[in-house]
Amino acid sequence: MKCIYEIHHERLTFLICVVGQRWNQAMREGHVKTGTLRLLPSLALGLALGVPACAQEPIIPPSVAKISPAGMKRGSTATFTIEGRSLSDATGVIFDTPGLSAKVIEITDVPEKITGPRAGEDLEAQVARGKKQTARVEIIAGPDASPGIHRFRVKTPRGTSNMVVLAIGTLPEITKGEKSGMDSGAPQTVELPATLVGTISSTGEKNNYQFAGKAGEDIVFRVQASTLGSKLTSMLSLSDSAGQILASSSQNRSGHDAELTFKLPHDGQYVVSISDRNLGGGADHFYRLDAGDLPYITGVFPLGVHAGQAAQVSIRGVNLGMISTTKVSAPATAEGWTTIPLEVVGQGIRPINHARLAVGNEPEITETEPNDAIEHAQSLSLPITINGHIDGAATRGSSADEDYFRFHATKGEKLNIDVAAARLDSPLDSVIEILDAQGKAISRATIRCLNETITTLSDKDSRTTGIRLVSTTNLHEEDYVMVGDELNRIDFIPDQPDADTILTGMGGVRLAYLGTSPDVHPVNTPVYKAQILAPDAEFPSNGLPVFHLTWRNDDGGPGYGADSKLDFVAPADGDYFLHLKDVRAMEGPDFAYRLTVRDETPDFKLRAEPANPNIPRGGSVPVTVSVDAIRAFDGPIEITVKGLPKDVSASSAVILPGQISTVLVLTASPDATPDAPPAPIQFIGHAVVNGHDLFREANKNAEDDSDQLLQLASIAPAPDVVVTTESREIALEPGKDVTVTLHVERQNGFKGRVPCSVENLPPGVRVVNVGLNGVLVTEAQSSRTFTLHAEDWARPVSQPIYVIGSVESNSPTMHPSAPLLLKVAAKNQTANANLAPNEKNEPLSTHKDAQHR
């Protein structure tokens, strides 16, 4: 191999090496790709003639990869290092709370060795990367800054960065010594209480801290790691001076950050050890460990309160002094999933952790024991919320506690049944089921399997929507499939074998239907095309399995996590039993729950991405607004934006029935002020439910509203790319194709390729025959045609679609076309496996757009 050309582009140096036919073959096979320098035929000719050539770096928004250290003490000033890209001319740091401020002291370019892709190894597209830099930032945490996890974005002339987290503590901070606290050496001696700051630097490493303790002292250890972006899955253990392990962190609670409380048996020296549960390690396995005789809440009861009322809440914990209850006043109304923080302050005590309470509109009662058998079931009058515990069975000499409740329903009555536990930091992992008057499981549906395939390539977790199948023969989009014991629905089938089939999901989480729960699927898991039939359906055997689903649920899916939910339809008049327990057969005084049974209540939750749109002057940026969870609702949802900056407008956008997302376009005029401060914005969804207006704000998640914080719109420089389409309106018939021509105008000296996608397509319409690279406008092109195909079952609809061009980089920018109105004509449909649920007489709860009823 002979290197014959050297090209300097800003700070980057590229070596172009000639390898004869092997180079050409590698280029054809995609093993060698260009990066910020685009190799075009004309450029290659220029190189051969010795003519200098370089490509303009695209406008790349700022991005932050890491801040170190990951926190600081309240009431202090500290200097931090922010690692990122495109941080030049940073104008400030925007925090999510008062009491925190910062100034940028210095920005330094980081030398970066640029190497070509390795044949057969670096198979991802090589894209432009913003200038690698570090910023030294001085942060002031005032004495009134609230302790806990906070968030910030860095502001530059190119827009705002991604959101970064920072911990604010109240304790003295001790950094792990470089050579102490390792397995090979003596533990690092520390004085508690303190926040211990360190990193599990290598695989299998354990950091050890020795401290002096007193008999009867309640010692608390709490890790903050995953909440700060660390990859550490922490595990804690406490040992005495003889090395005897006294306690280790419980695995009952969800999340990756360990917690441990223990009453010390005697005066003496103790050692707390922190390690990675998965034996991982590295610079990204950092932690902050609060340790000492600290006030700490282990549980509260009840887990919620009635809207508009005051209530006494019991508090369990350690080092809380005489605090055992606190009075809570709930807001007047509760809209959807509503929580409030539980403030526990008194006698100079402020717990280091926080609790949240749910707020509901239904009457509330407390579970009454004994109700751990059918014959002792507690009677309910609906609607109702029951505050209870899974606890006490062990003291009665039996297995783990389980609770039964009796209620009456009429035929066809629709009830929403929810458990709130894990979402409120209870260790309970609930499972619920509905039984008939004799205590027997009630059939919900029969699943007939029509043909079989298996999963391949790799194991899949319980969240992933992509799954590789050995064969997709006889499978179609919108078909139901049984994957193991999980009922899913196909959202997209690729037109090539080396790609995943995509199952329907929400918020990036796979959906399961009819009460089944997402589960882990190893390679070779059977996958069956599923026909959903009535519980008593009869049909001839075809040699494939038949599944009988009952009214049961473990994990409720998006918005619920480990909490259970059921949307029950009573099959007949009569009494029914509701059975609740921990799926692991565990119990404890902190295994509290909040069980609500009410009439069917339509509702939805929304997510908007990006939450910090950087809108180019004279250009546009797309924001995707998706349904994050939905219940018993199948109407249109109108999307609007509040708080937009001056000279910025938003397109109209509607999530139509049968769909789970829409594209909203924000456009800035050419005269928009480039240095205008970022504006807080809100994405609002409006629907009419049973004649009443229902408003939901996007990015309000179940646990907290962190995704809603720092939701900012900023003005960015003029765009590198403007995308247009020749047509403004197209018509498409089911089963037919239509071609569309797009044009790309490059600006600012940008000359790179522009991958394009077509967004906001209705179900049954997709781009076809585009190959591995999709709708790609190469460096030598300014136009491209693509084909839209409507499946036979595509429903009639009229809605805008957008062609979105991407300027590739480590932080790509998206540039949408003006709306292209797509009109899908009506066509008579015949019965087949792809008809809508209502047309197939399926249970209404399986409708794709009732996603998780």
Q: Is residue 660 within 8 Å of residue 506, measured between CB atoms?
A: yes
Looking from the CA of 608 toward its CB, the CA atoms found within 13 Å total 31
pLDDT of residue 846: 40
Evaluate if residue 244 carries a pLDDT over 70.
yes
Q: What is the pLDDT of residues 357-391, one digit of tens each?
A: 999 999 999 999 999 999 999 999 999 999 999 99
pLDDT of residue 418: 96
pLDDT-derived band at 138, boundaries 50, 70, 90 = very high
pLDDT-derived band at 71, boundaries 50, 70, 90 = very high
pLDDT of residue 28: 30
Q: Is residue 729 within 8 Å of residue 748, measured between CB atoms?
A: no
Looking from the CA of 729 toward its CB, the CA atoms found within 13 Å total 2
pLDDT of residue 130: 87
Q: Is residue 594 within 8 Å of residue 564, measured between CB atoms?
A: no
* Residue type present at position 450: L
Sign of the C-alpha dihedral, residues 628, 431, 385, 424? negative
**SS3 letters across 441-459:** ECEEEEEEEEEEEEECCCC
Q: For 45-59, 219-233, 555-569, which range has the lowest pLDDT when averaged over its residues? A: 45-59
Q: Is residue 102 within 8 Å of residue 138, measured between CB atoms?
A: yes
Evaluate if residue 618 carries a pLDDT over 90.
yes
pLDDT of residue 23: 30
Evaluate if residue 750 carries a pLDDT over 50.
yes
d(CA 111, CA 810): 17
**SS3 letters across 617-649:** ECCEEEEEEEEEEEECCCCCEEEEEECCCCCEE
pLDDT of residue 102: 96
Evaluate if residue 8 carries a pLDDT over 70.
no
Q: What is the pLDDT of residues 642-654, one digit of tens each?
A: 999 999 999 999 9
pLDDT-derived band at 255, boundaries 50, 70, 90 = low
pLDDT-derived band at 830, boundaries 50, 70, 90 = very low
Evaluate if residue 48 carries a pLDDT over 80.
no
pLDDT of residue 55: 53
Q: Report, as an integer, the average pLDDT of 172-181.
A: 75
pLDDT of residue 708: 65
**Which residue, 407, 354, 365, 431, is CA-closest to 591?**
431
Asked, as a colleague might, if the bond just before 427 is cis with ω within 30 of 0, I would say no
pLDDT-derived band at 124, boundaries 50, 70, 90 = low
pLDDT-derived band at 770, boundaries 50, 70, 90 = confident
pLDDT of residue 630: 86
Q: How far is CA 161 from CA 60, 151, 357, 750, in A?
A: 10, 12, 32, 22
pLDDT of residue 354: 85
Evaluate if residue 838 carries a pLDDT over 90.
no
Evaluate if residue 834 carries a pLDDT over 60.
no
In 3-state terms, what secondary structure has residue 331? Answer: coil
CA angle 305, 554, 518 (to 5 degrees): 125
189-198, 472-481, 496-505: which is most confident: 189-198
Q: Report, as an integer, the average pLDDT of 827-850.
A: 40
Q: What is the pLDDT of residues 708-729, one digit of tens each?
A: 679 999 999 999 999 999 999 9
d(CA 378, CA 355): 28
Phi-psi region of 611 (alpha: psi -120 to 50; beta: other; left: phi over 0): alpha
d(CA 235, CA 74): 27
Phi, psi for 29 (deg, rounded to 5): -85, -5
Evaluate if residue 7 carries a pLDDT over 60.
no
Q: Is residue 218 within 8 Å of residue 263, measured between CB atoms?
A: yes
d(CA 698, CA 377): 40
Evaluate if residue 50 carries a pLDDT over 70.
no
d(CA 37, CA 551): 58
pLDDT of residue 51: 31
pLDDT of residue 314: 95
pLDDT of residue 622: 98
pLDDT of residue 705: 54
Contacts of 396 (CB under 8 A, 6+ apart): none
Q: What is the pLDDT of residues 289-345, one digit of tens each?
A: 999 999 999 999 999 999 999 999 999 999 998 889 999 999 998 988 999 998 887
d(CA 615, CA 651): 13
d(CA 840, CA 832): 8
pLDDT of residue 246: 97
Evaluate if residue 511 carries a pLDDT over 70.
yes
pLDDT of residue 36: 28
Q: What is the pLDDT of residues 79-96, one digit of tens each?
A: 999 999 999 999 899 999
How would you label 668-682 residue by residue, b for 16+ Cβ within 10 Å and e otherwise? Answer: beeebeeeeebbebe
d(CA 479, CA 125): 33
pLDDT-derived band at 797, boundaries 50, 70, 90 = very high
Q: For 60-69, 597-606, 693-702, which range has the lowest pLDDT when averaged over its residues? A: 693-702
Q: Report, as an integer, the average pLDDT of 415-444.
A: 96
pLDDT of residue 829: 43
d(CA 191, CA 196): 10
In 3-state terms, what secondary structure has residue 849? Answer: helix
Tell me the pLDDT of the chain averaged across its residues.
Answer: 87
Strands annotated E in 751-812: 754-759, 765-768, 775-777, 783-790, 797-807
**Which residue, 594, 519, 508, 522, is CA-closest to 553?**
519
d(CA 456, CA 144): 55
In 3-state terms, what secondary structure has residue 190? Answer: coil
pLDDT-derived band at 252, boundaries 50, 70, 90 = low
Looking from the CA of 634 toward its CB, the CA atoms found within 13 Å total 14
Q: What are residue 207's DSSP bridge partners? A: 274
Tokens of 749: 């000296």
Q: What are residue 415's DSSP bridge partners? A: 568, 599
